[in-house]
Amino acid sequence: MNIVLLGAPGSGKGTQASLITEQYGLPHISTGDMFRENIREKTPLGVLAKSYIDKGQLCPDDVTVKMVEERLSRADCKKGFLLDGFPRTISQAEALEKFVKITCVLDIEVPLDKLLGRLTGRRCCEKCGESFHVSVIGKTEICPKCGGKLYTRADDNEETVQSRLNVYASQTASLIDFYQRKGVLKSVNGDAAVEEVFAAVQEVLNTL
Ligand code: ADP
Ligand code: ZN
């Protein structure tokens, strides 16, 4: 199964991705995580990516496509994969088509007015990478899952979030139509509890 997860920033892609990975054993390929790892390790790619990510803009298509193509060519992706955060532009989607066949594109739908609060209230775990919302976990700085330290992502401040949402509307949302026309799009309601969203996701994946 070659799966693409679509959805606005804050739609819960990352959370669903880790549940899918656990249940179906697919490698989780998150371009956001890959960029952040490069930023942490101060690689040339990381330095370049940081200058875009900090402004809430997309990293250039050419470097992003190259990074994904290299990742998908590794042995662990031969039996399938879960792409999270890629493609984000039509040009990335067209490039992707040239090197793999996508089984299904899952679009997680959340009303736009809920996204800002979801992102600015997000806390991430340094250790396990999971993210949580302050409305659920309160003010704690300890990860409820693994006990690691929680932090707020640098690009989760209100100004950057606003530009990420604008980028989504202007460059990424059109992928819904793109994949609809190819007949591979499945939508699930993301405006529900994590378990309910995952139940809907499983319903789709189990029929593939
Ligand atoms: P979210 O889905 O919560 O916005 P991600 O962790 O997926 O966050 O991505 C964080 C940032 O990394 C994006 O705002 C963008 O700058 C960069 N990025 C991630 N994926 C891509 C991509 N496919 N193309 C270009 N930039 C990307
Ligand atoms: Zn944790």
**Domain assignment of residue 107, yes or no:** yes
Q: Are 119 and 156 in contact (CB under 8 A)?
A: yes
Q: What is the mean pLDDT of residues 122-146?
A: 94
Give me the number of domains the chain comprises. Answer: 1
pLDDT tens per residue, range 74-111: 999 999 999 999 999 999 999 999 999 999 999 999 99
**Domain assignment of residue 121, yes or no:** no
Annotated catalytic residue 74? no
Band (153; pLDDT cuts 50, 70, 90)? very high
CATH number of the structural domain spanning residue 171: 3.40.50.300
Domain that holds residue 7: 2-26+79-112+157-205
**Domain assignment of residue 66, yes or no:** no
Q: What is the mean pLDDT of residues 39-55?
A: 97
Ligand 1 atom closest to 64 (CA): 24
**Domain assignment of residue 69, yes or no:** no
Which one from 50, 122, 123, 186 is the annotated catalytic residue? Answer: 122
pLDDT tens per residue, range 164-175: 999 999 999 999
| Kind of pairing between the strands at 150-151 and 131-133 | unpaired
> What single-letter amino acid sits at 101?
K
pLDDT at position 7, please?
A: 96
The pTM (predicted TM-score) of the whole model is 0.92
Residue 190 Cβ < 6 Å to ligand 1: no
**Domain assignment of residue 108, yes or no:** yes
pLDDT tens per residue, range 106-127: 999 999 899 999 999 999 999 9
**Domain assignment of residue 136, yes or no:** no
- In the numeric block, the tokens 């969203």 are attached to 197
Q: What is the mean pLDDT of residues 129-140?
A: 93
Annotated catalytic residue 55? no
